[in-house]
Structure 1
Amino acid sequence: MSTTTQVDDSKQWDRAQSVDNISSTPTGVTGVPLEYFEKLHGARFNPAKTFGNPAPVALAGLVMCLTPLSCQLMGWRGSDSSGAANNGAHIFCGGLLLLLGGILEFFLGHTFSFVVFSAYGGFFFALGATLMPFFNATPPYAGAEGGLTTEFYNSFGFFYLFIGLLSVLFLVCSIRTNIVLVVLFLAYSIAFPVLAAADWQRGQHNEASAHTLEVTAGAACFVVSLCGWYALAASLLDSVDMPISLPMGDLSKLIPARKAVDEESR
């Protein structure tokens, strides 16, 4: 038997003796019962206390993807409003980081954050996949002149429309969170239906109207980005215990919780 094995066996025997001593403390002598020792040992490794806050990584993915996309939708510096140049950010920032943050929020028991991050992460994954020829979403709709046919725009607009409907649901739920999230979801609830309208106008060959609607949607997405940057800064400042903090505008007491309402009705 090696010296290392002997030392490990000795340490294990010492720990066993310590536990026995704790569990068999004589009467009248101050000690910690074994069941309390086990509870303290378990609390030390409580995931809710040892895991980091996953919200900043999801917010970072959102702003790194959506901020340039909103600038492209507004046509800044002659950029392309299709978002194809931003496709890598759609997948690896907007999709991957948002989905990762959502999954980690699930393990912390934060249902609303889990659903929001995962849903928008799925949206950016879907948008990126649509723009990739590998997924064969656009090739069947390729027009004779190299563009996309009206059927594509008339069909894809429904995707924007119902992501907008989901954003309205998030907006309603956010009324019990904070002002920043309310503004964020309100802007998203405007941006997605407007993007749907832009696609339908392009499907009718109304390019001027489609461009105006895209600029409007880009401005709304830019507001979402600003809210995301603000929330990200607030989270990171809190994570390093900075002496200053950014107020989010708490709304949790604006509408009473269901439990409080039930108790009052009794």
Structure 2
Amino acid sequence: MAQFTAESAHAEPVAGEIANPIPLGLSAFAFTTAIIGCVFAGFILPGVGAAISAAAAAAVVYGGIVQILAGMWEFRKDNTLAATLFSAYGGFLVALGVVLMPTLGIASELNRTNALHPALGLFFLCWTIFSAVLFLASLRNSLALLITLALMFLSYLFLTIGELTGASTGLLIIGGWLGIVCALVAWYTALAGILHSANSTFRLPIGALRV
């Protein structure tokens, strides 16, 4: 069975096969994680008003829909880890984006009843647990993926604790910055895959961990 390894990230399509969806999935992963990280870190986008709208749109359209599509293509390529990662994270981001979308009023209603932060904390807690599952599943895959998932786990762990403790600013900022760093590593991994598939004049190492 195919795995999300250095080889799969660098896989080149052959006749009769679809192209490698991993760079696309990682790019969508990185883009949305960076936007969410910036909102919580207060970097460029303050976590209010239009910033929430931007995060919601990014989560639903690019992070959500595109990652789900990449995940479905990975199922077609029999790559269970990548398929599960992209499909699950895409679904999570769609749900988060729907909650945060101002036009739907869900966040406003939760905020009115003082349930917004506990609800977000529960969202993030569930994803933190699943991030740990994905991390454990990636221990024999590429170092780049391992670092990406470790940073995602830590980011959502801090966001979980921050939200469940009544929106602790310091913890949310740490979680936001960890998300930004996670996005940078994911973009690096996506670039490595694109360069290999395009037969570029230079390559980026992602570190094989299989033993």
Q: Which range, TM-score by smaller chain?
A: 0.7 to 0.9
Q: AA paired with 2:207?
A: G
Aligned letter for 2:128?
Answer: G
Where 1:175 maps in the other structure, the secondary structure is: coil
Once structures 1 and 2 are overlaid, which stretch shifts more, 67-76 or 157-166? 67-76
Report deviation, 1:180: 0.8
Alignment correspondent of 1:38: none
Deviation at 1:151, TM superposition (A): 2.4
Find the counterpart in structure 2 of residue 260 from structure 1.
none
Q: How many angstroms apart in 2 are the aligned matches of 1:121 and 1:234?
A: 22
Aligned counterparts, 1:1-266, within 5 A: 49-77=16-44, 79-80=46-47, 83-132=52-101, 137-143=106-112, 149-202=113-166, 210-253=168-211
Q: Distance in 2 between matches of 1:110 and 1:96?
A: 19
Once the two structures are TM-superposed, the CA of residue 137 in structure 1 deviates from its matched residue by 3.0
**Which is worse superposed, 48-57 or 114-123?**
48-57
Q: Deviations over 1:60-106 (max 9, x none)?
A: 21222222221222112462267333221111110011101000000
The one-letter code matched in structure 2 to 1:68 is I
**Following TM superposition, by how much is the alpha carbon of 1:134 offset from its aligned partner in structure 2, in angstroms?**
5.8
> Higher Cα Rg: structure 1 or 2?
1
Taking structure 1 as reference, are residues 69 and 140 closer, same or farther at Cα in structure 2, changes over 3 Å only?
A: closer
- Between the aligned partners of 2:99 and 2:45, the Cα distance in structure 1 is 23
Paired amino acid for 2:117: Y
State the secondary structure of the residue aligned to 1:249: coil
1:49–1:227 Cα change, 3 Å = farther
- How far off is 1:235 after superposition? 0.9
Q: Return the offset for 1:187.
A: 0.9
Aligned residues of 1:48 and 1:108 also touching (Cα < 8 A): no
1:153 CA drift (Å): 1.5
SS at structure 1 position matched to 2:165: helix
Distance 2:164 2:109 in 1: 18
> Unpaired runs of 5+ in structure 1?
1-45, 144-148, 254-266
Aligned identity (percent) is 26
Aligned residue identity for 1:224: C
Q: Give me the CA root mean square deviation.
A: 2.1
> CA offsets per residue over residues 168-204 of structure 1, 9 Å max, x none?
11111111101111111111111112111111222xx
- Segments of structure 2 that go 5 or more residues without pairing to the other structure are 1-12
Contact 2:74–2:83 (8 Å) recurs in 1: yes
Of residues 213-222 and 130-139 in structure 1, the stretch that sits farther from structure 2 once superposed is 130-139
Q: Relative to structure 1, is the Cα distance of residues 48 and 216 closer, same or farther in structure 2, using a 3 angstrom cutoff?
A: farther
Distance 1:196 1:112 in 2: 24
- Are the counterparts in 2 of residues 95 and 122 from structure 1 also a CA contact under 8 Å? yes
Structure 2 distance, partners of 1:126, 1:60, is: 19
The change in CA–CA distance for 1:239 and 1:177 in structure 2 (over 3 A counts) is same
Length, aligned pairs only: 197
Q: For residue 115 of structure 1, what is the amino acid of its counterpart?
A: T
**1:127-181 deviations in Å (ceiling 9; x for gaps):** 10101256553343342xxxxx432322331111111011111111111101111
Greater length-normalized contact order (CA 8 Å, ≥ 6 residues apart): 2
Separation of aligned partners in 2, 1:216 and 1:246: 28
**Alpha-carbon distance in 2 for matches of 1:193, 1:223:** 15
